[in-house]
Structure 1
Amino acid sequence: MSNQEGWGQHPSDKEEEEDEEDERDEEPKVCQVCGDRATGYHFNAMTCEGCKGFFRRAMKRPVKFSCPFQNACVITKSNRRQCQACRLRKCKEIGMLKELIMSDEAVEKRRRLIRVKRTQQEPVLLTPQQEDVIQELLEAQRRTFDITFSCFKRFRPIDRSIAPMHQYLNAPDESSTHPWSRSGSDCNQRDTSLPSSSSSSSSQEGEKSDERRGQERTFSTLPHIADLTTYMIQHIIDFAKILPSFRQLSIEDQISLLKGATFEVCQIRFNMLFNEKTGIWECGPLTYCMDDAARAGFQRHLLDPLMKFHYTLRNLQLHESEYVLMQAISLFSPDRPGVTQHSEIDRHQEMLALTLKTYIDTKRTSSERHLLYPKIMACLTEMRTMNEEYTKQVLQIQDIQPDVSPLILEVVRKDT
């Protein structure tokens, strides 16, 4: 019924029906109160939606109606609002019962049950557009990320002859329960062991050696790590340029997004190669441990949370589709420095996040998807904080030993 009737149909009236007629005849049913088209049995009588709503509200109101005429008004569809007293009397005469009206609490409970039932009955499915987005990202990933590292050939050899200056994660406490406190011990057995300190003389000699290294400020693995990082950055740029949604942005915004996301996308890709049992990154024939980053000059206040991040993310056991969606969400971050097309990038990131959530709901079992989406988003947030520290440490390392490539410097210097 029209809202102009005031006391007419309420939007939720259909959810409050106490009884529905099981058999539906082809002939239209008539409201026994006003003669309008009936929609079923409501409160024990065949009525229309308008009279059903009128009776329910009238029974809940303390006001008593009075007829301005002789309490004998004939109620019709056109005049049913003119005399509420006679309309209510007619409702009672045809058998409508106050006892069948549900309380507000019962109505709300029933509505919740209906919503839950509808959700259970309607399975979540990826839309064709979301499927296309995932396939587009997977194709870009496979074209720009070779997990065998067969194309990584022109690099300076890695030098593990010097122990990390701050002894990162070596000689672990056997009683430690944290997996990341034991990582890196198998990366290169002959190199990762610290010099013996069985005697006081050898200990003093080792301390002097450490002091000399500190004065020389030699980061032995920096040339190789710089080459590896440059190689990864080049392929991340290629990944972004394959995506039509990225190419549609202005060149300035493309640069800003890449500068902001490169470290994060690089870590997401490296996580796909991380062996959480050994703490080793297995890049085809090459293997790396966190001590290699320490030998390159990176400090513990970056490496400790970074190692914990890799264990946390890897233990989520993500699908390849979830990994590439993570990369895309990181890439399309509207709050990167220098970004101008905020609204457009924000809409695209929201679409990617929804696609990730839908993928998890669709492809994962109920036990697998428990809190998986918020855990992934928490990992992305954690990387944002490490991103700033990474930039700071790269610039400090370059000041000490200028082996950082121009491409890396261009990426970390986000204000240029």
Structure 2
Amino acid sequence: AGEDSLARDACLFCGTGDDDDDGEPKICRACGDKATGYHFNAMTCEGCKGFFRRAIKRNLRLSCPFQNSCVINRNNRRHCQACRLKKCLDIGMKKELIMSDEAVEQRRALIKKKQQLCQPSPGLLTSTFTEEQRKLVTDLLDAHNKTFDFNFVHFRNFRCTFPLYYYSLCIVYIPSVLLSSLCIVYIPSVLLSSLCIVYIPSVLLSSLCIVYIPSEYLMLPHISDLISYMIKGVIDFAKVIPYFRNLSIEDQIALLKGSSIELCIIRFNMVFNVEKRIWECGSNTYSFDDLILAGYRIPFLEPLIHFHCMLKKLKLHKEEYVLMEALSLFSGDRPGVCENQVIDGVQEFFAMTLMAYIETQRAPSQENRFLFAKIMECVTELRTMNEEHSKQILHIWDIQPDSTPLLKEVFSAFSD
């Protein structure tokens, strides 16, 4: 490869060329073939470019067998080298532009070095964990610890979970040799109607029982209080972050309305038990059935459980959790946001901090190699979960209005 290939590499690398591409076909001024650009100061094809370089570097003594007046074109350019070289010189090709082999190698090395400097690998972008990034993570951790009641010791004065008046009476025929002639049985099911007779076939002895079946929206008041409690913590978390306080009040409100549920889901994941598929919130635990009893539908709950299992299996550090919270909070495309570019810039800084943390604070492994991409995938998936959750809430309220003022304010963005 010679100096012209290096020139092409440099043009591709720098994003520029020797001539403007106006869409018109370029013609070699030496032989009329299709030209590939300016070579040694003239527009020529690859053939004439190579011929000129060889002829000059070999210092050939060429002579025309005719009268130095051969017509050079695409078809006969090989017939007379002397007239072809003369034509190259006549169109302006300069022999002083031909580089020596040593100069070619030096230029090749220089271009390669510049390419490496201007196009570093992703790992080189975040090979260090800067002091600014370290302070950011420390501040976010401090804000998280102050605003997330991990053991739910302050979750009090919530509406009762199982008041008797939420149950409906029905008569159930249950086969059992253990039941007395009259008993009270609790059946956790939202599929039975308010008043019904259920027959369970069996060859065993049976008894007639009085059964209390919980209403479909039994857990709605309690779950509403729980989510409101979590959202209050999220709001306090955001207020501690300087980047958030520097925004206008309008943008602060827009970001909180748009992201509160996503941050709640992230925090709920920190208390999620993958093996039992439950949320362990201090002395209270919540299961799939509890959310059904709050009015949520299975097509929403199954992806929600899958998401929690997927995120929990990443085994995130608390630092990665809080950076994930910050990434969800600072999303410039939330409805009602005005300073989109400012917020997107902050989010990008959080993303680079997360990448730097993973690369410098975790041991190199196949799992950690793709951890950043997996976390970003979860952040994207949270948007879908947020939208589906909002649809569920609004549907529940249409049937069973039961919410807190804070929930109504948060979900007003989705009901407009």
TM-score range, shorter chain: 0.5 to 0.7
The alpha carbon displacement at 1:400 in A equals: 2.1
Query: After alignment, is 280-289 or 399-408 more displaced?
Result: 399-408
What is aligned with 1:139?
142
Distance of 1:117 and 1:244 partners within structure 2: 31
Does residue 201 of structure 2 align to residue 199 of structure 1?
yes
What is aligned with 1:22?
none
Does residue 250 of structure 2 align to residue 252 of structure 1?
yes
What is aligned with 2:361?
363
**Shift in alpha-carbon separation, 1:273–1:87, aligned structure 2, 3 A:** closer
The alpha carbon displacement at 1:399 in A equals: 2.4
- Normalised by the length of structure 1, the TM-score is 0.63
What is aligned with 1:177?
none
Note the alpha carbon deviations across 1:252-310, whole angstroms, 9 max, x for none. Answer: 11111101101100000000000111111111111111211110001112111111100
Partner-residue secondary structure (3-state), 1:153: coil
**Shift in alpha-carbon separation, 1:122–1:227, aligned structure 2, 3 A:** closer
Partner-residue secondary structure (3-state), 1:369: helix
Does residue 297 of structure 2 align to residue 299 of structure 1?
yes
Partner-residue secondary structure (3-state), 1:292: helix
Give the unaligned 5+ runs of structure 2.
11-48, 58-92, 168-185, 193-197, 203-210
Partner-residue secondary structure (3-state), 2:280: strand
Does residue 329 of structure 2 align to residue 331 of structure 1?
yes
Identity of aligned residues (%): 42
Residue type of the partner of 2:282? G
Distance of 1:218 and 1:87 partners within structure 2: 86
Give the unaligned 5+ runs of structure 1.
1-5, 14-59, 68-82, 164-189, 201-208
Distance of 2:241 and 2:122 partners within structure 1: 34
Do the aligned partners of 1:160 and 1:292 also contact (CA within 8 Å) in 2?
Answer: no
Q: Which of 348, 351, 366 lines up with 1:350 in the alignment?
A: 348
The alpha carbon displacement at 1:370 in A equals: 2.4
What is aligned with 2:219?
221
Please give the residue correspondences for 1:49-68 in structure 2 after superposition, counting only pairs within 5 Å: 61-64=50-53
Q: Which of 142, 158, 164 lines up with 1:155 in the alignment?
A: 158
What is aligned with 1:127?
130
Distance of 1:342 and 1:115 partners within structure 2: 28
What is aligned with 2:372?
373
What is aligned with 2:276?
278
What is aligned with 2:231?
233
**Shift in alpha-carbon separation, 1:320–1:118, aligned structure 2, 3 A:** closer
The alpha carbon displacement at 1:244 in A equals: 1.1
Bigger-Rg structure (1/2) = 2
**Shift in alpha-carbon separation, 1:11–1:365, aligned structure 2, 3 A:** farther
Note the alpha carbon deviations across 1:308-337, whole angstroms, 9 max, x for none. Answer: 100000011111011111111111111111
**Shift in alpha-carbon separation, 1:363–1:297, aligned structure 2, 3 A:** same
Do the aligned partners of 1:297 and 1:397 also contact (CA within 8 Å) in 2?
Answer: yes
Does residue 403 of structure 2 align to residue 401 of structure 1?
no
Partner-residue secondary structure (3-state), 1:63: helix
The alpha carbon displacement at 1:371 in A equals: 1.6
The alpha carbon displacement at 1:238 in A equals: 0.6
**Shift in alpha-carbon separation, 1:84–1:160, aligned structure 2, 3 A:** farther
Q: CA RMSD in A?
A: 4.6
Distance of 2:95 and 2:257 partners within structure 1: 74
**Shift in alpha-carbon separation, 1:10–1:337, aligned structure 2, 3 A:** same
Distance of 2:266 and 2:280 partners within structure 1: 14
Note the alpha carbon deviations across 1:11-54, whole angstroms, 9 max, x for none. Answer: 999xxxxxxxxxxxxxxxxxxxxxxxxxxxxxxxxxxxxxxxxx
Distance of 1:244 and 1:120 partners within structure 2: 29
What is aligned with 1:411?
410
Residue type of the partner of 1:322? E
Please give the residue correspondences for 1:97-136 in structure 2 after superposition, counting only pairs within 5 Å: 124-136=127-139
Distance of 1:155 and 1:375 partners within structure 2: 36
- Normalised by the length of structure 2, the TM-score is 0.63
**Shift in alpha-carbon separation, 1:61–1:103, aligned structure 2, 3 A:** farther
Do the aligned partners of 2:126 and 2:352 also contact (CA within 8 Å) in 1?
Answer: no
Do the aligned partners of 1:302 and 1:389 also contact (CA within 8 Å) in 2?
Answer: yes
**Shift in alpha-carbon separation, 1:108–1:158, aligned structure 2, 3 A:** farther
Do the aligned partners of 1:160 and 1:192 also contact (CA within 8 Å) in 2?
Answer: no
Distance of 2:379 and 2:113 partners within structure 1: 39
Note the alpha carbon deviations across 1:109-152, whole angstroms, 9 max, x for none. Answer: 99999999999899811111111111111011000002111111
Do the aligned partners of 2:216 and 2:292 also contact (CA within 8 Å) in 1?
Answer: no
Q: Which of 262, 265, 268 lines up with 1:264 in the alignment?
A: 262
**Shift in alpha-carbon separation, 1:235–1:119, aligned structure 2, 3 A:** closer
Does residue 389 of structure 2 align to residue 390 of structure 1?
yes
Do the aligned partners of 2:126 and 2:356 also contact (CA within 8 Å) in 1?
Answer: no
**Shift in alpha-carbon separation, 1:12–1:394, aligned structure 2, 3 A:** closer
Decide which structure has greater strand share. Answer: 2
The alpha carbon displacement at 1:365 in A equals: 2.3
The alpha carbon displacement at 1:250 in A equals: 1.0
**Shift in alpha-carbon separation, 1:160–1:117, aligned structure 2, 3 A:** same
**Shift in alpha-carbon separation, 1:116–1:191, aligned structure 2, 3 A:** farther
Residue type of the partner of 1:156? R
